[in-house]
């Protein structure tokens, strides 16, 4: 008979999931621009979005802690801070971003609806 996981394993699983906002897949192209002076905008893909943040994939790499503006046609740009960065296949970078400030329900709905239309 297999053993059930111990309390330590269950606690670590609970701790590893820190998200408090439901994520929505949108897979849409956006324009990003760093807050650093003299930087040019670049393209990225948003893979998912929540009221708290989004996941970007791009050939352009930013460091954790960097501030960025993320915009999609027909929407106001959103301000976000890069929280974590990881390499992806083909020289791409995955970047988890936290919005500053968090999105309202209306902003989230607007982004998810527009994101579906651009697929």
* CATH 2.40.10.220, domain 22-117, yes or no: yes
Could you tell me the residue ranges of all domains in the chain? Answer: 22-117
Q: What is the pLDDT of residues 3-17, one digit of tens each?
A: 434 344 344 444 445
Q: What is the pTM of this model?
A: 0.78
Q: What is the pLDDT of residues 65-103, one digit of tens each?
A: 999 999 988 778 999 999 999 999 999 999 999 999 999
Runs of H (alpha helix) within the chain:
7-16, 105-117
DSSP 113: H
Q: What is the pLDDT of residues 102-112, one digit of tens each?
A: 999 999 999 99
Q: Cα torsion for 49, 54, 58, 64, to the nearest 10°?
A: -170
What pLDDT, on a 0 to 100 scale, did the predictor assign at position 116?
Answer: 67
Partnered with residue 99 across adjacent β-strands are: 80
Residues 47-68 have a mean pLDDT of 96
Rounded distance, CA 75 to CA 48, Å?
16
């Amino acid at each position: 008979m297999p053993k059930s996981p111990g309390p330590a394993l269950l606690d670590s699983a609970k701790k590893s999931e820190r998200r408090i906002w439901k994520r929505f897949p949108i897979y849409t192209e956006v324009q990003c621009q760093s807050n650093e002076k003299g930087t040019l905008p670049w393209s990225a893909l948003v893979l998912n979005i929540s009221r708290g943040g989004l996941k970007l994939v791009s050939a352009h790499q930013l460091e954790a802690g960097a501030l960025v503006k993320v915009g999609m046609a027909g929407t106001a740009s959103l301000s976000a801070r890069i929280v974590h960065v990881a390499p992806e296949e083909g020289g791409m970078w995955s970047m988890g971003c936290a919005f500053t400030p968090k999105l309202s329900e209306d902003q989230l709905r607007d982004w998810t609806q527009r994101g579906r239309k651009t697929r």
